[in-house]
Structures are given as C-alpha cells and as structure tokens.
Amino acid sequence: MSMTMSQKILAAHAGLERVEAGQLILCKLDRIHGNDITSPVAIREFKKMGFEKVADPDRVTLIMDHFVPNKDIKAAQQCKCCRDFANEQELESFFDVGRMGIEHALIPEEGLVVTGDVAIGADSHTCTYGALGAFSTGVGSTDMAFGMATGKAWFKVPSAIKFVLTGALPRCVSGKDLILHIIGMIGVDGARYKSMEFTGPGARSLSMPDRLTVCNMAIEAGAKNGIFEVDDVTLAYEKEHARRELRIFKADEDAVYDATYEIDLSELRPTVAFPHLPENTHTVDEIGEVKIDQVVIGSCTNGLFKDMAEADEILKGRKVARNVRAIIIPATQDIYLKCLEAGFIRDFIEAGCVVSTPTCGPCLGGYMGILAEGERCVSTTNRNFVGRMGHVDSEVYLASPATAAASAVLGRIASAEEVLK
C-alpha cells in the first residue's frame, strides 16, 4: 500500500512497514517540548501519574518564551516551576532569559528537531518543523506529560492534501502570503486533521524561512501537520543546524490524497487576513482605506532574520506614521545579534519602532502591545481571533513583514509596493 510523507515517517517510528489513514499507532518520539504556559500543567500531570524521571532527558525541551522576562507574579511562578523541573530532571535543553528564543524559531535553529523526526509540543504551532521534512504536531499538556514519561505518543494516522507549487514568488510576496492565500482558499477547517504536504518546483524555490512560515500556520487550516518534501534547500539548512543524522522520507508516487491543489506562486499578491479569522483574506488590491494604530513584526511565524530583512528594506530611511506604534521582535537571541550586525536595529529605532527581546508577548495578548477598545493592529503573527491581542472590540489583521512595515509607514494597511515605488 502506498503512503504519503507523513505516513511513512509515522510508520517508521511505530516500527511498522505500513500504516493507513485512521489507524491508531504508538510512535517513538524524537522531541517533546513545552513552554512556560503549557509545561507547568504537563509537569503537574507527570507527577500526578506517579512518574519520577523522564524517559530520555536529551529528548525533552522546555522553552520560556511567552511571558519572559516575566510580566507578573503568576508568570514568574510558571517559569520557576519549569526551572525547578529542568534542574531536577537535568534537562540540557532548557532555555530561559539570556538563552531565550520563541520556541518554534529556536528549536530548528538549535537543531533539536531534524529531517525525518517525529516531534510533539504542547503548543499548536509545533507543526512548524514540517518545513524540515519532519512530522511535528501540537498536543495537549497531558500528552506532553505522557511523552516525557515514556518517550512515546499515540497518533491517529492522518490522510493528506497535496499542494503542488509551481513558479516563484514575486517581489514583496512571501511564504506568509502563500499560506494566507491557501487558508483563504480552503478555510480554517479545510484540512481538519489532515497532513498538508507541499511539493513541486515552486516548493523547491521557497526559502527555509518561507517554508517554516507556511508549516507554522498549517494548524490555522485545521491541519494535523504541514510538511515539505526534502530537497537541496532542506539539506543545506540541516548541514548548518542538525545535531543528528537525517532520515529522508518521500511520498510514494501513487500515494492517495483527499485533494490536490496546484498553485502558481508567480500569480500571488500580498495578502491580508481581516478580523476575525485567518480565512477572511483579501489581496492588497481589494483593500480600501483601513487606518491602523499598531504594527507587530515578529512571532514564531515571522520573526526570523529574513523577516527582519524584509521589514528593514521598507523601514530604513523612513519614519513610522505619527499615530502608529511599531513593535519589532526578533525571534531568537542569535537573530537579534544578526540584526545588530546588519544595522537593522538602528534602522528600526531611527524609523520610530521599539525593538524587544525575543518573546511571544503581544501575539496572544500577553504583554508588549495589548490593544485597547477599537484599536487596529497589522501583525505578522498567526491568529486574529476576537480578543486575541487585547480588548474584544479590537481588530487584528494578519500580514507579511513587508506589508506590515509598509502599513506602519503609511498609517494604514498598505503594500510594500506603495512605499518602494
């Protein structure tokens, strides 16, 4: 029986020759991780189950990224719980203030998940690592606890949707525009519990940051995971970052898919998701005058160096509009340093932006940019639900770094083309 990429990875980790959609299997895990919000719940469940030691300390990662540096006493207590557990379990992969980074940017950067892995994380955007050709998916804190204790997790094998990409992205269009286009096309439940598998010559033209962005937001279409076919771009990235041997899995030519979509990247336009769902998309050509109050450039979705470079191209030598607050958050300390070396931080500050240490912060309405009633924000984050970034009567518009930066300069939702012309 033929299998998709995801099915082949799951079969190998379950010790089976083949699996089929809907089958329940128990898989060995290569990585289990959580953050300062989800890990304390998992730690309490771990202890409630009667476990004393994690199955393999080298496979468990705790990353303090949501409310760090701590915003209040509760956040401090959450991090202390994780810190104490990491010390008790002798976890090498514990990332706190100073070693910090947003988890889904830091894990690939550190080579903690590599091609062919099965990884779970107590965060819905764990599907990011499919960009590396790994099977990765978000789970609940109880599943994280079980994974830490046993090194394994139960899965229902997903069916798949195939996306055949052709062409290449035009200037001022990025992976964020691609995934917003797809979610607008199939809807927020269009891939419910399915694997979104990306292939074709257009897929091979995408950079690793673009692939990471696309897979990060697979969950916003309801998918179990997103995954790219392994190619030279993958291998070049892994040569620089991977800590372990890679395992490459390729879909069978006769693999069965629930649906197949062909997308010509060259035809895509800068795309914005209007409130209050990622599927409510419009191209910049369809948008009228929408004035804004805030811009956020960062997050696990678009806080990589390439994203910072795209924002810098727009902001350098220009000024943020008088009534707009612009917040820029490099996703890891290493990215922050590279931005310093490239001169981006000076450009951002001179343009009128504030630059933060790595944190999820405003993405989930935590801190560093809460919206008041009636305010609008253009954000490179991944969700724009009601109240996501603050008051229930505020609005979040999802966009690429280039579009967000252009909007900051013009004080309204705008395309990079308007600023660069």
Distance CA 241, CA 231 (A): 15
Q: Minimal CA–CA distance to 407: which of 349, 330, 353?
A: 353
Distance CA 294, CA 79 (A): 29
Q: Minimal CA–CA distance to 76: which of 353, 367, 276, 414?
A: 367
Name the H helices within 49-193. 73-89, 103-109, 141-150, 175-186
| pTM greater than 0.75 (yes/no) | yes
Tell me the CATH number for domain 5-264: 3.30.499.10
Distance CA 219, CA 112 (A): 21
Q: Alpha carbon 123 to chain centroid distance? A: 10
Task: Give the start-to-end residue ranges of the domains of the chain.
Answer: 5-264, 271-420
Please name the residues in contact with 347: beta carbons below 8 A apart, sequence gap of 6 or more: 312, 315, 316, 317
Q: Which is the CATH superfamily of the domain at 271-420?
A: Aconitase, domain 3 (3.30.499.10)
| Tens of each residue's pLDDT in the chain, 421 residues | 699 999 999 999 999 999 999 999 999 999 999 999 999 999 999 999 999 999 999 999 999 999 999 999 999 999 999 999 999 999 999 999 999 899 999 999 999 999 999 999 999 999 999 999 999 999 999 999 999 999 999 999 999 999 999 999 999 999 999 999 999 999 999 999 999 999 999 999 999 999 999 999 999 999 999 999 999 999 999 999 998 999 999 999 999 999 999 999 999 999 999 999 999 999 999 998 999 999 999 999 999 999 999 999 999 999 999 999 999 999 999 999 999 999 999 999 999 999 999 999 998 888 999 999 999 999 999 999 889 999 999 999 999 999 999 999 999 999 999 988 7
Please name the residues in contact with 376: beta carbons below 8 A apart, sequence gap of 6 or more: 290, 291, 292, 293, 294, 394, 395, 396, 397
Could you check whether 5-264 and 271-420 share the same CATH topology?
yes
